A and B are shown apart, each in its own frame.
Chain A
Amino acid sequence: MKTLVLVEHDNTKLHDATLAVVTAASKLGEVHLLIAGHNCGGVAEAAAKIAGVAKVHVADDAAYANGLAENVAPLAAALMEHHDAFLAPATTSGKNIAPRVAAHLDVMQVSEILSVEGPKTFTRPIYAGNAIATVESTDAKLVITVRGTAFEKAATEGGSAAIEAVSGAGDAGISSFVSAEIAKSERPELTSAKIIVSGGRALKDAETFEAVITPLADKLGAAIGASRAAVDAGYVPNDYQVGQTGKIVAPEVYFAIGISGAIQHLAGMKDSKVIIAINKDEDAPIFQVADIGLVADLYAAVPELTGALSG
Chain B
Amino acid sequence: MKILVPVKRVIDYNVKPRVKADGTGVDLANVKMSMNPFDEIAIEEAIRLKEKGAATEIVAVSVGPAKAQETLRTALAMGADRAILVESDEEVEPLAIAKILKAIADEEAPGLIILGKQSISDDSNQTGQMLAALMGRPQGTFANTVEVDGDSVTVKREVDGGLQTVKLALPAIVTTDLRLNEPRYASLPNIMKAKQKPLAHKTAADYGVDLTPRLKTLKVAEPPVRQAGEKVADVAALVEKIKALGIA
Contact = CB atoms under 8 A, between A and B. Distances in A.
Contacts of B217: 133-135
B235 A308 contact: yes
Interface in B102-161: 117-118, 120-134, 136-139, 141-142, 144, 154, 157-161
Contact of B223 (A125, A194, A238, A245): A125
Interface of A: 66, 68-70, 73, 91-93, 95-104, 106-112, 121, 125-139, 172-183, 191, 194-195, 219-220, 228, 231-232, 237-239, 244-245, 247, 252-253, 263-264, 270, 274-276, 278, 282, 287-296, 301, 304-305, 308-309
B214 A137 contact: yes
A95 B141 contact: yes
A220 B247 CA distance: 7
Given A92-B158, A126-B26, A183-B161, A309 B95 contact: no
B169 interface: yes
B166 A91 contact: no
Contacts of A253: 242, 245, 247
B158 A239 contact: yes
A147 to B, nearest CB: 11
B44 to A, nearest CB: 15
A191 to B, nearest CB: 8
Interface residues of B, number: 80
Given A111-B125, A294-B238, A237 B26 contact: no
Contacts of A195: 247
Grouping DSSP codes into helix (H, G, I), strand (E, B) and loop, the B interface class, with mixed when no group exceeds half, is mixed
Interface stretch (B71-79, B188-196, B197-205, B226-234): B226-234
B164 A132 contact: no
Interface in B209-248: 213-223, 226, 228-232, 234-239, 241-242, 245, 247-248
Contacts of A301: 235, 238
Nearest to A175: B138
Contact of A128 (B123, B124, B166): B123
B18 to A, nearest CB: 8
A231 B237 CA distance: 31
B220 A292 contact: no
Contact of A93 (B131, B160, B177): B160
A56 to B, nearest CB: 23
A220 to B, nearest CB: 6
Among B19, B126, B219, which residue has the most Cβ atoms of chain A within 10 A?
A: B126
B124 A111 contact: yes
Interface string B4-45: 000000010100110100000010000000000010000000
B57 interface: no
Contacts of B63: none
